[in-house]
Every structure is written in structure tokens, then in C-alpha cells.
Amino acid sequence: MDLQRHISFFPAAKSLGEIGASKCEELDGNGTALWNLCTRLKRNYDTGTPQDVPIILLLARVFAFMVLYCALEVGKGTTGNVVRVMRIGIKAAKNCMGREQWDNATKICGNIGLMEGMLRKLDPDLQEGETEIHERLIAEYYILRTALAWKQNNMDLTEHMYGKSTANLTIFDPGTVESLADVLYEIGKDLLDKKEYEGAVKWLGRSNEMVKSQELDKMSTDISELRLSIAESLIRATLALQNPEATGRARYLLENLEDTMGTRLPVMLLRLEFLSTMTDETFDGVLYSNTLHKMARSMMLSESNFKLMMHHIRKLNDKSSSLACKALDSFITMRILQDGKDSWLEKVIITRIWLTISQRDSAEALEALKMMLSNIYQHTQKPASAAATLAAHTLLWKRIESNYVQGQIDTAESWCRLAMLRIFESSGEINMARMSRKLLLCALAKNDYNTARDVYGAMPDTTKNDPMTRFLMYKISIRCDDLEYASKCLEIVSRAITKDVPDPTLLYACVLDAQQVGNKQQALAALQLVMERFGSTTSNSVHLPSLLRLTIKLSSGLLDDTTITPLQDGSQNNVERLCKLFETAVDAIKRTSASSDTDMLWTFAELDWFSKNSYNLAIKYISSWTPHHLLRMLICCIAFIDRYPSDTTEQVADDLSLRKMFCEFSAATALVALARGEDNRKQSLQDYMDLRKHVDNFDRILQDKVIKLGDAPGVVQDLFQKLAVLLAFDFEAACHLKAWDQLGESILKAEACQNARVYELMADCMLSAEEAPIIVLIATLKKIINSACELDSFDNIKLAKYMRCLFQVALSQNYDVAESLLDNILSQAEESAETGQPYPSEELEWIVTRAFNHAVDLYCASKDQECLSWAQRALGIAQYYPDNGGLKRLLENRLAGLQFD
């Protein structure tokens, strides 16, 4: 700026010569006028902030001083003019320093220094009072030079100027003292901010001593604040030296300050700061707490003071949580509640909870917190807001969980009950339900079931019927042997599983819990509900094979447990449940057979497990289960075997075929028992039809196995013995189904079995077939007898019996067949005599008697030829009767007595 350039290059007075001397009054007048003008204009910006004043006014005042100094220098300077211009110069220099115009300030101070010399030359002519005024003015100049040297970071010069300013302290008035003390304070404060603590202590100490040298009542109203600021900074700087001597010195300074300003907030804060520097061993928590109590009582409540108070309470909490809680309780009771500061109330509630949870749990601390929260609610008669309650519950829940996990159940319960105080009513039903359920868990952990029921009874209905709540009550109920209520809870838990939320986790938890307490029935009931929800669907949340396996294992374990009473679930029992479980597995495999996920879900291992376990159960209980249940289990085993992959090893395939043959055999056995005992004719016929399918399956597998098992004759023989039994059942089934044309096939298949018993069974069955046509009956019996006769092991007595039965039937229906049967009997009697195993005499006597009587009947009917034919056959058979020919002679005599034409 042009004005700054003029200031910088302001001409020296000597360069003006005589012109300057003649113009000195004019210069003085113009300089004074400019100064006064700037002063008036400056008042328009009198905001207390130097930066708000336009720089042009500052420079104009500097230029005005330069003009006045020039006038003084070229004229004859009187004492009054020198003093006046010096004062103007000091003001201008201070203005420059306020705007960091260091060059201008230095230039002005240089001129003031020259004026000091002028003033000292004039002083000998002055009176004593005027000299003191001049000395104080000079002292102010050196104070200004001290401040300028400090601002220019020249501490050596600062020290020198300080010494100059204090050369004659006795003449200082209060204003000069205050000015010097302020400069010294600023220097010390600056050093303190720079962490140059030793220098800060020195300069702040000088400032403090300077203030103490004057009586307070003679100083300005601002001196009290300055004194407090000096003491505060000095104590901080002294403490920062961190040595015992400095600590003692700081304590002394603080105590002196408290004696005069102990009720001032800054002093109390200084005391707190001093205490905070102490180590844990020397920290005086009681004094810190008492100071906070004093602050709470005396300080004016404002947002900043509230934050300040809370800050120091938290700092005290780092040293002593119990004292911090008491201090905050005092603050709440004395000020927050009494002054109606609702806007801060929720903040102190959260802080109060935080203080308690930050310390070790104790019954006393919890009780104190509970009383404080209850007092707040009693005073306000309204709950905390939802936001504050959420924050409080967040803190409390962490503490609850921590104690519960660590097994501190009583403490966790106390925290839960505190979280349910009326002041937290705004938390909402969900949060309160969570707290209530945690109380249930605490009661469960303590086996305090009465308390659990009380907690449950106090819940609202919606919380009671929440699946998680019911799950906890399920746990409690099974431990109290309240199985009926446990079942109700289980049902409600299962209802939570929907298509939208297909999550069986809670039901699984019920299963595990029931297993833990050893209640297998309840575990099964829970698994049964999972099966009802997921057994017929495909869900990613349920691995059906695993679910079925677990349920089957539990059910199997109950089969032989006589200590367990069957579940009161209608027709359900363990065997029925097992059958349904295996049938569910079969259905699931069939449903997923077309899916690409089949191999991943129903792996070889899964199929093998289900196949073997269904097979083993069938074997183990084959004699104790009803045919109906046994059949169902066997059918499931067959279905599992049929689902094995085709690329299994030969050994596995052989094992599976043998297992399947046993199942087919046992299934047919069960079906024949069912068919025989079934009152419903239609169902009985259906059972017989199913039986024939199993027989066919067995026979087909056997044909494939015969070649492979050629080197195991024992196994082959056993399988053919089973086939013989099955063929007898098949024959029976065909008879009941009136499949007359298929009877011969069964007889033909039986030849491979080489088993006489099968023919006996077939014959008995044929004889009992009331609806069989006589032709079929006779033809079938002849086939049976003919096939049986080829076996060496067939019993002659039974053969004779069947021949008698066949003859009797034929005699009543077809004489030609009956007559041909006599030839067969004669042949058999002859063969029997030759082998040493005679034909049964009773049968011979019966056959001979019936045949001869029939001959007599033919004689009476005038059929002489037929009579003679029958009589001859009777006599032929009679010769083998073991009575030395007596029967034959008797019949011959009777035949001779007949009169033929």
C-alpha cells in the first residue's frame, strides 16, 4: 500500500533542516488531527477484536505517530509533548502488535526509545511526582518491548527488556503491574502450549508474583480473572515437570488459590486436574468425589458445564467406579431432577448404567442402580423414551449375556429384573419378551421351576405364545414331568414352521433337549412334528435322510425299553412309528428319483443304512411283531434294495440278492398269515395276490443265484427249502384266487425242491378247496400224488391217505377215474410189498371194502360186467392185506354167492 510505503520511507527529521523547524507546529497539528480522526473512526469498529478494524486506520495511526514524532524531533520538545507522543507511540505499537505488524511496531518502539532519552534529559527539572509518572511511562515502554521481543521469538532480548521494565518496581501503579503481569502471563502461557514447561513455570511465576505484589482492591475488575488464569497455567506447568518437588509446589499454589477462590468453578476443575495427575497409589478418590459434589451444588447448569461434569465423572470412574456412581447420583438428585433438566435426564440414565456395568458386579452396586432408576421414575412419573430405553437395554443385555455365559446366573437374573423396571416400559414388547425369556433361562439353569412359572405367568399372551417362549417352557415342562404341557408347547413351536419360514431349528432344539434329560419319548414327539412338516417335501433346511435316521434310532431304542410307557397318541406306538418312518424314506426316494439331486441326497451310504436297518429290525422282531408290521418293514427293505445303483460291486450285489430273497420269503410268510386271519374277503384275496408276487420274485432271483452258488450246496439247499414253502403258499393263494389253471405250474416248480412236505401241503390245501371243480380237484391231486411218488422220502402212510381221499372223491363223481385209481393203488401195494414197506393195512382194508361194495351196487343195478371188473380189482388189492389171505377168501366167497346171467 502507498501509506505503508510512506511509513517505511518516512524522512528523518534531520533531512528537513530549517524547513522542518518552521513547520513543526503545523506538523504537530496535522499529526494530532489525523490521530484523533483515526480514533473516532476506530470507534465504529470497537468490537474488541483488532482484526475487525480496517488496516488503513491502523496504518493511518502509525503515520500520524510518525508525523508527531517528526514534529517533536525538529521542534523544541517540551516534557508534555514528549510524554504525549510517547503515549501515542505506545498505543500505536500495541495496535500494530495486535495485527502482527511487527516491522511497524519495531519502528515505533525505536522512536519511543529515542523519546525515553529526551524525557530523561528533561526529568531533572521536574518535581518528584512528575518523575514517577515518567518512570511508569518508561516502564510501560519496556513492557511493550518485552512483549515485542517475545512475539519475535527473541527470548534473550525478552529477558533483557523484562529486566529493564522491572528496574524500578516501587513506582509501579496497579495499571502498570497488571499490564506487565498480562504480558508475562501470555509469554508463560505460550511456552506452556509449546510444552516448554520450565520456561513456562519461570514466566508464569513472575506473572503470579507481579499480581501478588499489589492489593486486589486497587486493581481493575479484570485482575481477578487474570490472577485465576495465571495460577491455573502456573499450576499446570508446574505439574508438567513431573517431579515430587514440582508436585508439592503445585499443591501449595492450589491450596493458596482455594483459600481465596475455592468456590470458583475453574479452581475446582484445577483441583480435579491436579488429582488426576496422581498415580493409582496416591490418587485421592474421595477428594475427587467431594470436589465433584461441590461442583454439582454450586455451578450454573449449562450445556457446557453439564458435559464438563459428565466428563469428570467418567474420569473418576477410571479410578473408582463406586465413587463415580455416588457422584453422579448426587448430581442427578441435587441438580438434574431438582432443576427439571429433562433434556439431560436420559443421558445421565445411560451414563449411570454404563458406570455400573464398567465395574465388577456386586449386589450393592446393582441395588444402588435399581434405587436410582426407581427414584428417577418416581420423580418424573414417566418412562424413558424409546431411544434411551433401547440404548440402556443394549448396555444391559451385554452384561446379562456376559454373566449368563460365565455361569453367573443369579447376577444375570438381577440384571434382567433391573432391565424390566417401569422406567424402561417404552422398550416395546419384543425387548421385554427377550428379557422375560432370559429370566426363564436363568430359572431353568437354577432348576427353579416355580420362579419360571411365575415369570411365564406375568408375560402378556403374545409373548407366552411366542415359539421361543414355548420352547423354553417345553424345556421346563419336561424337567417337571409335565408331559401334557410339554406336548402343548411342542405343538405351538411346530406351528411356527411355515412355507414362508421353513426353519426346524427350534424343533431340533426340542429334540436335543429331550435327549439330554433322557426323555426319548419327547425327543421322538419333536422329531415326529419335524417329519410331519418336512417328511413329504424337499427343503434345504432339512436333510431328510439324517432326520429319518435319528428318528429311527430313537424309536428302535424304545422297542425293548420296558420302563417307558407308550405315548398317549392313539393308535401310534413305536413299531407303527418305525414302519411309517421307513415308508417315508421309501416315498422320498421315489419322489426324488427323477431329480438330479437324488444321488446327492440318497447316497449309496444312505441306502445301505436304511436297507440294513430295516432288514435287521425285521429279523430281530420276526417272531414278536404282528405280520402286518413285519410285512411293511420287509417291503421297505425290498424297496431300498431296488434303489441301489446298478454299478455296485459283485459282492455287494450278491449280498443284496440274498437279503432281498429273505425279505421276499418273509413277506410271503407274513402275507399268508394275514390272508388266513383276515375276515374281509376282499382284503384276504388281495393279500394272496401280493403273496404270489413275492413268490415269483423269490423264484426269479433263485434261478439267477443257482448258477452262481453252485459251489455252496448248503446255501442252495436252504434256498430251495424256502422255495418249497413259498410254493405251498403260492398253491394256497392260487386256490383261494380260483386260479385253477395255475396250480399245475406250482406243482411243476416244486419238483426242483425235492421236498415231500410241499406236496403234503398242496394236497391238504387241494382237499380243503371247497370251490374247486371236481375235475380240477381230481387232476390236481393226481399230479400231486404222482410227483410225490417220485420222491424216495415220501411217506407211504400219507400217500395211502391221499389215495384214499382221491378215490373217495372220484367214486362220488367219476367211476372211470375211481376204477383207474384202483389200478394205481394195486401197483403201489405191490411195490410196497417188494420194498419191505407194506401198504398201510387200514387203508387197504378201507379201499378193498369200498371197491367191493361198489361192485355189489353195480350187481344190484344189473351191470354184471362192471361188477366183475370192480370185484376183480378189489380181490387183487385184498391179496396184499396182511391176514394170510383171509380178506381175499371172504370176498371170493361173497362173489361166488352172486348169481350172474
User: Where along the chain do its domains lie?
Assistant: 1-157, 172-274, 648-794, 802-901
Whole-angstrom distance, CA of residue 371 vs CA of residue 378: 10
642: Cα within 13 Å, side-chain hemisphere: 15
> Which residue type sits at 407?
G
DSSP code, position 167:
T
Nearest residue to 269 via CA among 318, 217, 307: 307
Report d(CA 188, CA 183) in Å as an integer: 9
Name the pLDDT band for 698 (thresholds 50, 70, 90). Answer: very high
Q: Which residue has the higher pLDDT, 518 or 621?
A: 621
**pLDDT higher than 50, residue 799:** yes
pLDDT score of 12: 61
Task: Determine the topology of domain 172-274 in CATH.
Answer: 1.25.40
Q: Quote the CA–CA distance of 586 and 241 in Å, as a whole number.
A: 87
Give yes or no for residue 532 having a pLDDT over 90.
no
Cα–Cα distance for residue pair 595/601, rounded to 1 Å: 10
- At 626 the pLDDT is 92
- Mean pLDDT rounded to a whole number for the chain: 83
Do 172-274 and 648-794 come out as alike in CATH topology?
A: yes
Question: What is the model's pLDDT at position 572?
Answer: 47
Helix axes 650-677, 604-620, angle to 10 degrees: 40
The residue among 529, 538, 523, 627 whose CA lies nearest residue 575 is 627
For residues 354 and 392, what is the distance between their CA atoms, to the nearest angstrom? 8
Residues 717-751 have pLDDT tens digits of: 888 888 989 999 999 999 999 999 998 888 888 88
Q: Name, in order, each residue with C-beta under 8 angstroms of 895's C-beta and a sequence gap of 6 or more.
A: 855, 871, 875
pLDDT tens readout for residues 702-719:
888 877 766 556 778 888
What would the mean pLDDT of 476-501 be, rounded to a whole number? Answer: 77
Q: Which three cell numbers stand for residue 723?
A: 422255495
The CATH code for residues 648-794 is 1.25.40
Mean pLDDT of 493-502: 66
pLDDT of residue 633: 94
Over range 118-126, report the average pLDDT: 67
pLDDT on residue 15: 52
pLDDT of residue 567: 45
- 100 phi and psi, to 5 degrees? 60, 35
Q: 138 and 168 in contact (C-beta within 8 Å)?
A: no
User: What's the pLDDT at 396?
Assistant: 93
Mean pLDDT of 560-586: 71
- pLDDT above 90 covers a percentage of the chain that reads 21
Least confident of 4-13, 200-209, 473-482: 4-13
**C-alpha to C-alpha distance for 843 and 767, rounded to whole angstroms:** 18
pLDDT at 630: 94
For residue 569, pLDDT over 50 is answered with no
Q: In the prediction, which pLDDT does 808 show? A: 80
pTM: 0.63
C-alpha grid cell, residue 368: 444402588
